[in-house]
Amino acid sequence: MTDYCRSVHAHYSTKWASNPVERIWSKGPTRDLPLGFCVLEFAPTPVRKMWTYATCCMSVPSDLKPVELHLFSPIRSDSLVELLTAISHYHCKGKSIGLGHTLNFGRPWLDGSLCDHGLISLPYLDGPEIENCYQGAAGNVVQCLWLIPITQSERDYKQTHGLEALEQRFDQSGFDYLDFRRLPVVP
């Protein structure tokens, strides 16, 4: 494990006060991912009553804007390890992703869900304590962002009206980010 990977792993483990299981998706072109890449799987705790999946080493220290992603789930799911691995591959070999970007998952987030896209957002549930992972003596910052599963219509709304407008719709609707059967907040 590289120093970068150890630092990201320690950041999440410390901030969420939990020890994760390191998950590796072995199918597909995972050899193209950075050395040490894995998905950290955090089981629910009395404080955090949800499953949490976080990339570890999706970026490398030399990236212009290193980023790591995490998402939440009401259930444990291997498909989320696969999803974050595929997104990490896209980030490394396709186009860099960051705050405000949307992604097409190509399938529902979880079985039975209308959410087949993702929005990369600030980690509102955890705040800057989780967002800013400081690396090394120079204090370089890795941005740890929240991947929120959304629907096609929500993605289209964001493209037309902007990120802030979509986030306001989430706030106004009483948006439940763990409800994988939720209806879109916009038609």
Q: What is the per-residue pLDDT across 116-147, written as a single tens digit (0 to 9) for each?
A: 999 999 999 998 999 999 776 556 789 999 99
- The CA-atom distances, in angstroms, between 125 and each of 131, 142, 148, 159 are 10, 18, 12, 24
Classify each residue of 52-62 as buried b or exposed e, where b means 16 or more C-beta atoms within 10 Å of its C-beta. Answer: bbbbbbbbebe
Classify each residue of 1-10 as buried b or exposed e, where b means 16 or more C-beta atoms within 10 Å of its C-beta. Answer: eeebbebbbe
Q: Are strands 117-121 and 132-135 parallel, antiparallel or unpaired?
A: unpaired
Position 138 scores a pLDDT of 58
Position 118 scores a pLDDT of 98
Q: Are strands 117-121 and 102-104 parallel, antiparallel or unpaired?
A: antiparallel
Position 156 scores a pLDDT of 98
Is the Cβ–Cβ distance between 70 and 142 less than 8 Å? no
Q: Quick check: pTM over 0.85?
A: yes
* Interval 74-122: pLDDT, tens: 999 999 999 999 999 999 988 889 999 999 999 999 999 999 999 999 9
Residue 27: pLDDT above 60?
yes
* Interval 161-186: pLDDT, tens: 999 999 999 999 998 999 999 999 99
Is the Cβ–Cβ distance between 86 and 28 less than 8 Å? yes
Which tokens is 159 given? 């493209």
Position 182 scores a pLDDT of 95
Which tokens is 144 given? 């740890």
Position 152 scores a pLDDT of 97
Position 187 scores a pLDDT of 83
